[in-house]
Chains A and B, each alone.
Chain A
Amino acid sequence: MGLRPVSLRLSPPGTAIPDRGVPKRASKRQSMLKEWPLAAFCGGVAGIALLYNLFGSPDILYDEAAYTWAAQQVAQGWHLTLDNQAFFVHPPLMFLLQAGWLRLTGQGSAALPSAIRTARILAGFAGVADVLLVASLAYRLAAHAGPWRRRVLTGVVTVLTALDPVLVRYDRQDVIEPFALCASMLVLYAAWAMRRRRAGAYIAVVSLLTGLALLTNQITIFVIVVPLVFALLRRDGSLIRRSAAALGIGVVFSQVFLLWSIELGLGGDFVDVQTASLRRLVGLLQITGLNMPGVSLASSLERSVTEYSSSYVVLAAGFLALIWCWTRKNSESGHFLTAWLTASYAFGVYIAAVGTLNEQFFVYLMPGTIVGTVFLGDALVARWCRRGVRTTADGRQRIPRLPVVSGAVGCAALIGLSAASWTADYLGPGDGVVQVDHLIATLPGCTAVNASGDAEKYSYLLGGRAFTSYTVGAEALADGVHYFILAPEDAIEANGDMSPALESWIEHNGTRLAVFPSAVYKTVQLWHVAASPYDPAADFTDIAGGAFVNTVGSDCGGYTVTDTSSGNFYSAYQALGGKGLLGAPLSRVSAITGTEDEQLFDGAVLASQASTGSAVQALPIVSTLATRNPNAYRQAGLPPIATGTTSAGGRSWLTNAAITRAYLGGSANTEAAYTAAVKRYGQPLGPPSVLAGGTVGQPFADVVLETSGSGGTVRAAAVTQAALHAGLLRASQFNLAPQTAPALPNPDALGPAQPTSAKPFVMTLGVALVLYGLAVVITVRRRRRKWNTRENAW
């Protein structure tokens, strides 16, 4: 198919492009009405990209859980807080908006997962608005292109924005970004649309929007500064004054946030929090993001390249667009884009090189870079076309086909990359956090689970259920915690408690119970790390006077072993080898008779007699069981007892090195050491025997010591259970009810309570808006009067 001849209007190179005259408002409206197919296309694409499977993906981040929870607190009682202190990290506007929405939809006090779904609807529509605002601004900026190309450019911008992996990630969640981007895009749109309106109207609208954007998120300053940069690039004194005034008034307006803190009597706290935020942004304090010590930026980029590839391409192409803009003579729209790209890259380069490199900050960069990329592509294609134009014999000019095809292919490839990423991330389920929480909810309420990254999001979603935040797996296990959530992405980013070391420990020691899909966290997994009752470093918490040994589930209960007036059970337990040899306790200290207290352990029964003071001894449970109930003894698989045992003969049975070492407490086999050992564990009842499974066991009067065939660790066989089953010990005599575990460490203990009501903010904002409105009305009236007076005078 050959190219059809076209007529061209070419400007000579090297000349600045005059701006088209502003069409009359009526004709403009008419032409806008003709664009309804474009509007429908843009709306449809944005709607599908941002709302499809909204509840299923992306997964919930800490911010989303915390902010929705905070919005619920506002909806319920005006309290803007994440704990019991005022929340000054971000301005309150988004929280108030979500609180109103949640209240309106009856989700103000609903379960958090349900509230998050509802909140996502509002955030998703804010995301749709973001896309449409970017597209609308691109449409306006593309005024130099013909109608058809303008629509194509707008359509491409829409598709790229709607599918951009970074934008979609955050615009589909109830976080600040969709709202803050919406507010800042409104500022840009208004500033561009009203650039030729009178100063009063421009300042009135732009400054109000600027203030509202800053009250949504202060980081929008890097976007809303664009009109001023644009005015400076244009060297338009009037526009510079107007833009500066609008920005200045907006900044003053945003101080309602500061006023709120003062009204709460917390001005000092506000300054502290904001100073910390500023130090983080500047890079003086690195506590989050990819510039944090210990986080590899290169590996993070490498890992995310498949997911964010199109964003990276756009960022690179946008940078070329920035260079292109700065090196060309530009139209007014070109200058606006230059200002937009300059502000975006100034911010982006700084945070990437020096400041806090949080992924969500790129949300504010991407719109400018997408528009820049598309316009750069358009400029390159146009330039190529212009160079390749050939005049036919009949005097008509023909546009070469290759540039347009190349542009289309490049565009399709970029869209394809974005679409592939979108399909992978949002077509299927990706709500691993919610799914793992559902699974955890089925575990007993007492079950302690170590969170991955941050404990709060899991906790908020499960109605405040406590999660632990151990960074060292062995310590968690020592405190009785056996369940671990593992999100690989947290490990890569060293997010919160999770680290590659903890990930490796969990994988090495645990069993994976479930794995749920999550594009955000690269799956969310639940692991169980089992521990032997004989593991001295597991389920063992030091408490005053002894220890608490967890024996039920994951920190669900156990028994204390302590030195008390009933007897020095803890000291005796430790002297007999502690948990590593005797195993875990099976009961509390129980009064068996008026003068005797006993405590059951896996491998022995310890008893104290009133007559012997606080001294505690092991009872001869093995010899008693073997004598009174030999069948039960045999059925328990315990080593056979020799007949005619004497003290001298018993010593000659110490033939297994490992058992002998344990029996004699590491001492040499001397008479004194043997006598002491007999006192501890009772005399030997037979020689070592090979038992079922290849272990070697040797009976003593109080315990049966076992070791593996090759020697090594020695432990007391679980004779107590056999004695209980045989009726030698009566369970009813013992207090077997597990005790509550000591409180686990809580790194997020509440600080002193503060006033947290957002009501004063709303009142102050209302008053500020009313005063602002009055000031605008008065100014407009004065100006009109002035004009009327002048007109009358003429």
Chain B
Amino acid sequence: MTAQIQPAIGGGGRLRRKVLLWQGVIALALVVLLAITKQMVTAREVGPDPLGALPGGETIAGLAIGGAPADYQLEALAASYHIDGVASLQGRSVAEQVTAASLHLAYLSLDVPADGAPTWAQLQTLAAFMRAHTKNGDSVYVHDDVGGGRAVATACMLLLLRGTSWAAVQRDVTGTGLNTMSPAQSQAVSQLNSALHSRGGSPLDNPYSKARIDPW
């Protein structure tokens, strides 16, 4: 057997110590660079925004509103936005209710007409629900079918009820959001605002005349 014991690679022996030292330093620098990159990328890392994917999905002063979520969207919302409860303004949905239960989320359904706004009684129920499920930084997802006027009007009213000024609410709600409200919904918001801030009592024809600031 004739053999030539010459390796295919690295047969020329080890590099000089000085070169190896430099290479070690460069390798270490690369590892540090990788670690820094990892930190930077992780800080900027985003998954798909489940709220942004929902029709009319947005956060108004910490209140998440939007359209009807599918199960995977509700699951993603619960994970990304610390949602602890779901309030449906379009009436009860068995599918949504069981999904919420499966995800250990509280569920509230209210029948708010498509072009209407929550009644004072419904607002009280909502406020109580919000109070119960917005502790420890948790949030509630309030939705109608399309993330339209019902959801926006309800969000505005809940914020007013919490004591936020109308000017501040207007700042938080995007222009397009306010435009989705029907005249009836705008009027309801206005009536609630009036009822909450009129010192001499609001007119009796104001359906929210009994409304008082109810921080949640």
Supposing A6-B3, A328-B15 touch, asked if A334 and B8 sit within 8 A by C-beta, the answer is: yes
Partner of B5 from the list A292, A385, A471, A536 (CB cut-off 8 Å) is A385
What residues of chain A lie closer than 8 Å to B79, measured between beta carbons? 294
What residues of chain A lie closer than 8 Å to B95, measured between beta carbons? 475, 478-479, 540-542
What residues of chain B lie closer than 8 Å to A328, measured between beta carbons? 9-15
In the assembled complex, the CB of A402 is this many whole angstroms from the nearest CB of chain B, namely 14
Partner of A542 from the list B14, B48, B92 (CB cut-off 8 Å) is B92
Supposing A354-B34, A472-B102 touch, asked if A331 and B11 sit within 8 A by C-beta, the answer is: yes
Residue B37 at the chain A interface, CB threshold 8 Å:
yes
Whether B44 pairs with A284 at a CB distance below 8 angstroms is yes
Whether B94 pairs with A536 at a CB distance below 8 angstroms is yes
Within 8 A of A (CB), among B51-95: 70-72, 74-75, 79, 91-95
A612 to B4: give the CA distance in the assembly, Å. Answer: 107
Interface size grouping (class) on chain A: 35 or more
What residues of chain B lie closer than 8 Å to A14, measured between beta carbons? 12-14
Chain B residue with the shortest CB-CB distance to A469: B72
Residue B45 at the chain A interface, CB threshold 8 Å:
yes
A476 to B3: give the CA distance in the assembly, Å. Answer: 69
A541 to B70: give the CA distance in the assembly, Å. Answer: 14
Whether A327 pairs with B23 at a CB distance below 8 angstroms is yes
What residues of chain B lie closer than 8 Å to A488, measured between beta carbons? none
A329 to B23: give the CA distance in the assembly, Å. Answer: 13
How many B residues have CB within 8 A of the partner chain?
Answer: 45
Among A140-148, A297-305, A664-672, A730-738, which stretch is in contact with chain B?
A140-148
Residue A78 at the chain B interface, CB threshold 8 Å:
no
What residues of chain B lie closer than 8 Å to A153, measured between beta carbons? 8
Whether B4 pairs with A16 at a CB distance below 8 angstroms is no
Whether B71 pairs with A334 at a CB distance below 8 angstroms is no
A146 to B15: give the CA distance in the assembly, Å. Answer: 25
What residues of chain A lie closer than 8 Å to B72, measured between beta carbons? 469-472, 497, 747
What residues of chain A lie closer than 8 Å to B9, measured between beta carbons? 321, 324-325, 328, 330-331, 333-334, 337-338, 375-376, 378-379
Supposing A327-B15, A331-B12 touch, asked if A17 and B6 sit within 8 A by C-beta, the answer is: yes
Whether A8 pairs with B11 at a CB distance below 8 angstroms is no
Residue B122 at the chain A interface, CB threshold 8 Å:
no
Whether B8 pairs with A379 at a CB distance below 8 angstroms is yes
Partner of B94 from the list A379, A501, A537 (CB cut-off 8 Å) is A537
Residue A743 at the chain B interface, CB threshold 8 Å:
no
Residue A768 at the chain B interface, CB threshold 8 Å:
no
Whether A471 pairs with B75 at a CB distance below 8 angstroms is yes
A475 to B7: give the CA distance in the assembly, Å. Answer: 64
Residue A780 at the chain B interface, CB threshold 8 Å:
no
In the assembled complex, the CB of A38 is this many whole angstroms from the nearest CB of chain B, namely 16
Within 8 A of B (CB), among A282-330: 282-287, 292-294, 321, 324-330
Whether A293 pairs with B70 at a CB distance below 8 angstroms is no
Whether A13 pairs with B5 at a CB distance below 8 angstroms is no
What residues of chain B lie closer than 8 Å to A536, measured between beta carbons? 94
A333 to B11: give the CA distance in the assembly, Å. Answer: 11
Residue A473 at the chain B interface, CB threshold 8 Å:
yes
Whether B45 pairs with A284 at a CB distance below 8 angstroms is yes
Whether B101 pairs with A474 at a CB distance below 8 angstroms is yes
Residue B28 at the chain A interface, CB threshold 8 Å:
no
Partner of A472 from the list B14, B45, B46, B99 (CB cut-off 8 Å) is B99
Whether B5 pairs with A382 at a CB distance below 8 angstroms is yes
In the assembled complex, the CB of A776 is this many whole angstroms from the nearest CB of chain B, namely 34
Chain B residue with the shortest CB-CB distance to A383: B7
Instruction: Point out which of A141, A294, A326, A338 has the most chain B C-beta atoms below 10 A from its C-beta.
Output: A326
Partner of A334 from the list B11, B45, B97, B103 (CB cut-off 8 Å) is B11
In the assembled complex, the CB of B74 is this many whole angstroms from the nearest CB of chain A, namely 8
Within 8 A of B (CB), among A517-562: 536-537, 540-542, 547
Instruction: Point out which of A148, A331, A471, A477 has the most chain B C-beta atoms below 10 A from its C-beta.
Output: A471
Residue A386 at the chain B interface, CB threshold 8 Å:
yes
In the assembled complex, the CB of B151 is this many whole angstroms from the nearest CB of chain A, namely 18
Residue B20 at the chain A interface, CB threshold 8 Å:
yes
Whether A293 pairs with B41 at a CB distance below 8 angstroms is no
In the assembled complex, the CB of B10 is this many whole angstroms from the nearest CB of chain A, namely 3
A478 to B97: give the CA distance in the assembly, Å. Answer: 10
A357 to B95: give the CA distance in the assembly, Å. Answer: 35
In the assembled complex, the CB of B194 is this many whole angstroms from the nearest CB of chain A, namely 34
Supposing A497-B72, A542-B93 touch, asked if A145 and B12 sit within 8 A by C-beta, the answer is: no
Residue B1 at the chain A interface, CB threshold 8 Å:
yes
Query: Total A-B pairs in contact (CB under 8 Å)?
Result: 189
Residue B2 at the chain A interface, CB threshold 8 Å:
yes
In the assembled complex, the CB of A573 is this many whole angstroms from the nearest CB of chain B, namely 13
A286 to B103: give the CA distance in the assembly, Å. Answer: 23
What residues of chain A lie closer than 8 Å to B200, measured between beta carbons? none
Chain A residue with the shortest CB-CB distance to B95: A478
Residue A745 at the chain B interface, CB threshold 8 Å:
yes
A375 to B10: give the CA distance in the assembly, Å. Answer: 9
Whether A8 pairs with B93 at a CB distance below 8 angstroms is no
Chain A residue with the shortest CB-CB distance to B11: A17
What residues of chain A lie closer than 8 Å to B4, measured between beta carbons? 8-9, 144-146, 149
What residues of chain A lie closer than 8 Å to B47, measured between beta carbons? 285-287, 292-293
In the assembled complex, the CB of A468 is this many whole angstroms from the nearest CB of chain B, namely 10
A215 to B91: give the CA distance in the assembly, Å. Answer: 52
Whether A144 pairs with B23 at a CB distance below 8 angstroms is no
Supposing A13-B13, A284-B45 touch, asked if A333 and B102 sit within 8 A by C-beta, the answer is: no
A interface footprint on B89-115 (CB within 8 Å = 1, 0 otherwise):
001111111110111000000000000
A110 to B34: give the CA distance in the assembly, Å. Answer: 48
Whether A474 pairs with B99 at a CB distance below 8 angstroms is yes
Residue B38 at the chain A interface, CB threshold 8 Å:
yes
Residue A4 at the chain B interface, CB threshold 8 Å:
yes
In the assembled complex, the CB of B40 is this many whole angstroms from the nearest CB of chain A, namely 9
In the assembled complex, the CB of B112 is this many whole angstroms from the nearest CB of chain A, namely 15
Within 8 A of B (CB), among A441-479: 469-479
In the assembled complex, the CB of B89 is this many whole angstroms from the nearest CB of chain A, namely 14
A498 to B97: give the CA distance in the assembly, Å. Answer: 20
A680 to B93: give the CA distance in the assembly, Å. Answer: 25
Within 8 A of B (CB), among A140-197: 141-146, 148-149, 153
A149 to B41: give the CA distance in the assembly, Å. Answer: 46
What residues of chain B lie closer than 8 Å to A327, measured between beta carbons? 10, 14-15, 20, 23
Whether A375 pairs with B7 at a CB distance below 8 angstroms is yes
Chain B residue with the shortest CB-CB distance to A470: B71
What residues of chain A lie closer than 8 Å to B74, measured between beta carbons? 472
In the assembled complex, the CB of B110 is this many whole angstroms from the nearest CB of chain A, namely 14
Residue A787 at the chain B interface, CB threshold 8 Å:
no
Residue A7 at the chain B interface, CB threshold 8 Å:
yes
Whether B11 pairs with A144 at a CB distance below 8 angstroms is yes
A interface footprint on B11-49 (CB within 8 Å = 1, 0 otherwise):
111110000100100000000001001100110111110
In the assembled complex, the CB of A341 is this many whole angstroms from the nearest CB of chain B, namely 10
A382 to B13: give the CA distance in the assembly, Å. Answer: 12
Instruction: Point out which of B13, B15, B38, B97 has the most chain A C-beta atoms below 10 A from its C-beta.
Output: B13
- 4 interchain residue pairs of minimum CB distance: A329-B12, A328-B10, A379-B7, A14-B13
29 example contacts (A-B, Cβ-Cβ < 8 A) are as follows A9-B6, A10-B6, A13-B13, A14-B14, A17-B12, A141-B8, A145-B8, A283-B41, A284-B41, A284-B46, A285-B47, A292-B47, A327-B15, A328-B15, A330-B9, A330-B11, A330-B12, A337-B9, A354-B38, A375-B9, A379-B9, A379-B11, A389-B5, A472-B102, A475-B98, A476-B71, A477-B98, A478-B95, A547-B94
Known: A283-B42, A501-B102. 18 other contacts (CB 8 A): A6-B2, A8-B3, A13-B13, A144-B11, A145-B6, A153-B8, A285-B46, A333-B8, A334-B8, A354-B37, A378-B9, A379-B11, A471-B75, A472-B102, A474-B98, A475-B96, A478-B98, A547-B94
**Residues of chain A having any CB pair with chain B under 8 Å:** 4, 6-11, 13-17, 141-146, 148-149, 153, 282-287, 292-294, 321, 324-331, 333-334, 337-338, 349-350, 353-354, 375-376, 378-379, 382-383, 385-386, 389, 399, 469-479, 497, 501, 505, 536-537, 540-542, 547, 745, 747
